[in-house]
Amino acid sequence: MTFTRRKMLVGLAGLATLGVVGGGARYWIGRPADPVTHDYELIAAPADIELIAGTKTPAWCYGGQAPGLELRARQGEWLRVRFINHLPEPTTIHWHGIRLPLNMDGVPYVSQLPVLPGESFDYLFQVPDAGSFWYHPHTSSAEQLGRGLVGPLIVEEREPSGFRHERTLSLKNWHVDKQGAFTDFSVPREAARGGTPGVLSTVNGEHAPTLELPAGQVVRLRLINLTNTVTYRVKLPGGDARIYAIDGNPVAPRPLGKVYWLGPGMRIDLAVKVPPVGEMLSLRNGPLRLATLASVATAETEGDWPAPLPANPVAEPDLQQAQTLRFNFEWAGTLSSDSGQGEAFTFWQINGQAWDINDKTCADRPIATLKKDGHYIFELRNLSQYQHPIHLHGLTFKVISSNRKRIDPWYTDTYLLGKNETARIALVADNPGVWMFHCHVIDHMETGLMAAIQVV
């Protein structure tokens, strides 16, 4: 697949009128005068944010904030985003978890050319599934996501879901020092292990905030892990919480339980029964407090647990006729290309192949080719001592079994594959394209743990 810049610009003729963005403002977001063209004008630009009181962090923002502006759409409708790049480097937007046509998937040299500084790109697609999703670049990911280019994308159910209250909680862990300056987003010795962790955790850009929730109500909390490498061990001690959806797909409501492991890129929608006024709950990552949920008085009558959310229109894989493909995720063993400046390190591989993040032709050599509308089982084998949140673009899959735990099947776009675990997932290859298949620990992805899967 090759692109010329000229080809990519066709169809963007209307863009000349867009010079207005300047006008002194570095970014602007809002509903444009002509809603026929787009719903959002989303600008990526540098801006200082205050993560640590009294300090400045030179973040990169979507819509002037980091994590980025929350975008919303309704299931079955179009989302039209005119994206404008005011960063000092090329970028793209990938819509994580959304089943869409390849040319909207935001992978450079696979679905589009990178959007250069000063350029814009119109992302236009229908959203088939309701749920909690997110968006981020697919270029220089460790740095671009690390600096804050991550944002929630909420697709509302067609009909009111039964939740009267909801909050999005964007979880992010930042690579900053005590002065708010960025530290290395990816350090080779960490990339070769669990990934380079940040040190400051925030919810909606604030460290350990207090969120006020209406007493006695059932509130939908959309927890989204927008972090490069960290798996959150989500806990809500003493709280009455049920999981309503996992990674954008409804499940039969089930108790949150003691702990839920939310890997990079993953989401859960929790229904939480807010305790009586004056009581508080502590949302935790293991022993660490992420946020305090404070109960405040409300005039509303006591809320009840809503009905389960309606299923998304995902095709059911037929396990009897499915063909099985095996994928081994392993440590690459040698620090092969660690010599020259600017060369990528290789620490990880899938079926013996490492993805070279600097090689634009990698996607021309897909690791597997699926027949359009074929049914498949992927056997995912982790041969390493680190966990990998395995993510697939363009297709939603069903988790069907694991050799490590009992699986109550669910649909998802990301599966957290534990140390030495073998799990089976199944899907119908109903979306033609070349789809990235990678670990969402960003520095694993950038040091080999990525491949392309073709559906033709």
Could you list the residues that contact ligand C2O (CB under 6 A)?
94, 96, 136, 138, 265, 391, 393, 436, 438, 440
Look at residue 375 and give the partner it binds from Cu ion, ligand C2O, none, a contact being a CB closer than 5 to 8 Å depending on partner kind: none
To ligand C2O, the closest distance from the beta carbon of 445 in angstroms equals: 7
Considering the complex, state which of residue 235 and residue 440 has its C-beta at the smaller distance from ligand C2O. 440
The yes or no reply on residue 172 touching Cu ion (CB under 5 A) is: no
Taking CB under 5 A as the binding criterion, the range among 85-93, 120-128, 330-338, 382-390 that sits at the site for Cu ion is 382-390
Which residue's Cβ has the minimum distance to ligand C2O?
Answer: 96
Smallest gap, in angstroms, from Cβ of residue 397 to ligand C2O?
14
Q: Binding Cu ion by CB under 5 A: which of 227, 444, 448, 452?
A: 444
Q: Which is nearer to ligand C2O, 214 or 264 (CB)?
A: 264
Q: Output 348 or 410, the one with its CB closest to Cu ion.
A: 348
Of Cu ion, ligand C2O, none, which one sits near residue 388, judging by CB under 5 to 8 A according to partner kind?
Answer: Cu ion
Of 68 and 265, the one with the shorter C-beta distance to ligand C2O is: 265
Rounded to a whole number of angstroms, the minimum distance from the CB of residue 139 to Cu ion is 14
Contact stretch for Cu ion (CB under 5 A) within 268-276, 356-364, 418-426, 443-451: 443-451
Least Å distance, CB 91 to ligand C2O, is 14
Please identify, among the stretches 6-14, 44-52, 165-173, 389-397, the one whose residues bind Cu ion according to the rule CB under 5 A: 389-397
Nearest approach, Cβ of 35 to Cu ion (angstroms)? 27
Given candidates 38, 82, 86, 96, which one binds Cu ion under the rule CB under 5 A?
96
Over the chain, what HEC string results?
CCCCHHHHHCCCHHHHHHHHHCCCCCCCCCCCCCCCCCCEEEEEEEEEECCCCCCCEEEEEECCECCCCCEEEECCCEEEEEEEECCCCCECCEEECCCCCHHHCCCECCCECCECCCCEEEEEEECCCCEEEEEECCCCHHHHHHCCCCEEEEEECCCCCCCCEEEEEEEEEECECCCCCECCCCCHHHHCCCCCCCCEEEECCECCCEEEEECCCEEEEEEEECCCCCCEEEECCCCEEEEEEECCEEEEEEECCCCEEECCCCEEEEEEECCCCCCEEEEEECCEEEEEEEEECCCCCCCCCCCCCCCCCCCCCCCCCCEEEEEEEEECCCCCCCCCCCCCCCCEEECCECCCCCCCCHHHCCCEEECCCCEEEEEEEECCCCCEEEEECCCCEEEEEECCCCCCCEEECEEEECCCCEEEEEEECCCCEEEEEEECCHHHHCCCCEEEEEEC
Binding site residues, Cu ion, CB under 5 A: 96, 388, 393, 439, 441, 444
